[in-house]
Structure 1
């Protein structure tokens, strides 16, 4: 068993410090594509330290590696740093070596933030599985492109039974964007008991109900939100502080709850006056295993 295999074995056994020591030792023995890439991956995924990983990846890319691993990993970092042009270029290089859903998803993200919505839509679709977040993001792009019929057709195919189903409230949100309020209400109802009650989506639910001429239930939902925040504030006041929950933490939390309560209190009048609660949309940057020699993912060691 070589040093890389031993390091990965220790990582699998959750012996992180011993594993990291061996990954560093491998770099000291030979600064090659495999050792630099694997240490960079450890920095990104185990220590969340992209800054430490960057010089290692830049060094190994000067070796023109034949694997897509370091290019994908660098693309992830550029996305997290919001260096969208750099991310786009490096991910296109990764895909030219070997396509992967993670690379297509992250390339879609880069294009979306560069304002290239048509390209983003195309790549999200390639990266997607039925009813997952990449498909959700693809539909968001279709809506922004004005392709609402196509968007609705794909949204209608969403199923809770699909393995990576994005979620009921997310599906409902898209129906609200399409102006399909009856369908939106059905999905909001399905998700009611599974989601933390927050103003951002409760306000969208309330809006859909008002559009369907149901002000009574719309008010009822907002009142439930208000009462829940009152109960949460009561519990927060009674909770004792300790080393993990300081008085400052407690006050900040209560302040947030109070602000959310005020949102609920003002929401019905705002919506009735023409306000449309905005949909929140965040693109997920996909991570993956890029460890050379990882047996769990059947990755061979690097061969130059």
Structure 2
């Protein structure tokens, strides 16, 4: 059994220190694509050593690997580090070797942040499953480009029954962007008893209700959320501080709660003055195992 195989075995048996030592020993024995990539994966995902992982991966790329693994992993890291152009360049090389959903999604993220929404939309679609977050991101890109009818058609196809359903709030948020307020309210209502109530989406729910002239419902939800925040404030004020939760931590949290309470307090007045609560859209970088020789994921050892 090779050092890499023993390292993988230890890693899968939760013998992390032994696995790390063996991955390092494999690298000392031979600085090849496999040993460089596998240790880089461990450095990044287990050690949080971004610079160390990138250095190893760049060395692996200098060997012109035939596998997309080192390209996909380096591209993922660069995108997470918000180095959009560099990440996009590396991920394009990954996809040229072998197309994967993860690389397509992560390239889409980079393209989105570079303002290349058309390419981002196509790549999100390529990586998407029915009703999942990548599909949500694809539709948002369509909206950004003004392709409203196409976006609406695809959003209508979202189903809670799909395995990777993005969530009711995300669907509602897109309907707000499309100014389909009745549909938005329908999905916001579905989420009301299951989602944590935060101003980023609740204020958009209130906005949708106002646009439908459902003022009483908007007022009731606003008052309910103000009371919820007041309850949270009083509950936190009664909490005793300790080593894990200091007075400083508590002060920061109380300030956050008060800020959120004030958002609810003023939201109806702001909407009446023309304010539109913005969509807090966030891209999502995907990750997967890139360990050569990982039997759990059916990865063979590296071959040129």
**TM-score category, normalised to shorter length:** over 0.9
1:148 matches 2:148 = yes
1:107 matches 2:139 = no
The number of residue pairs the alignment matches comes to: 304
Match of 1:160 in 2: 160
Match of 2:118 in 1: 118
Matches within 5 A, 1:197-236: 197-236=197-236
Q: 1:51: how far off? A: 1.0
Length-normalised TM-score, structure 2: 0.98
Match of 1:45 in 2: 45
* Alpha-carbon distance in structure 2 between the residues aligned to 1:74 and 1:255: 39
Length-normalised TM-score, structure 1: 0.98
Q: 1:44: how far off? A: 1.2
* Alpha-carbon distance in structure 2 between the residues aligned to 1:265 and 1:13: 53
Q: 1:2: how far off? A: 1.7
Partner deviation per Cα, 1:20-39 (whole Å, 9 max, x = no partner): 11111111111111011000
Match of 1:280 in 2: 280
* Alpha-carbon distance in structure 2 between the residues aligned to 1:118 and 1:78: 21
Match of 1:130 in 2: 130
Match of 2:12 in 1: 12
1:172 matches 2:172 = yes
Instruction: Determine helix, strand or coil for the equivalent of 1:94.
Output: helix
Instruction: Determine helix, strand or coil for the equivalent of 1:9.
Output: helix
Match of 2:93 in 1: 93
Q: 1:240: how far off? A: 1.4
Match of 1:193 in 2: 193
Superposition misfits of 4+ residues, deviation over 2 angstroms: none
* Alpha-carbon distance in structure 1 between the residues aligned to 2:238 and 2:47: 36
* Alpha-carbon distance in structure 1 between the residues aligned to 2:230 and 2:136: 34
Match of 1:248 in 2: 248
* Alpha-carbon distance in structure 2 between the residues aligned to 1:161 and 1:64: 43
Q: 1:48: how far off? A: 2.2
Partner deviation per Cα, 1:44-64 (whole Å, 9 max, x = no partner): 111222111011011111111
Q: 1:114: how far off? A: 1.1
Instruction: Determine helix, strand or coil for the equivalent of 2:37.
Output: helix
Instruction: Determine helix, strand or coil for the equivalent of 2:296.
Output: coil
Match of 1:55 in 2: 55
Matches within 5 A, 1:257-272: 257-272=257-272
* Alpha-carbon distance in structure 2 between the residues aligned to 1:49 and 1:124: 28
* Alpha-carbon distance in structure 2 between the residues aligned to 1:157 and 1:185: 17
Match of 1:32 in 2: 32
Instruction: Determine helix, strand or coil for the equivalent of 1:176.
Output: helix
* Alpha-carbon distance in structure 1 between the residues aligned to 2:46 and 2:130: 30
Gaps of at least 5 residues in structure 2 are: none
Match of 1:295 in 2: 295
* Alpha-carbon distance in structure 1 between the residues aligned to 2:299 and 2:247: 49
Gaps of at least 5 residues in structure 1 are: none
Q: 1:183: how far off? A: 0.3
Instruction: Determine helix, strand or coil for the equivalent of 2:78.
Output: helix
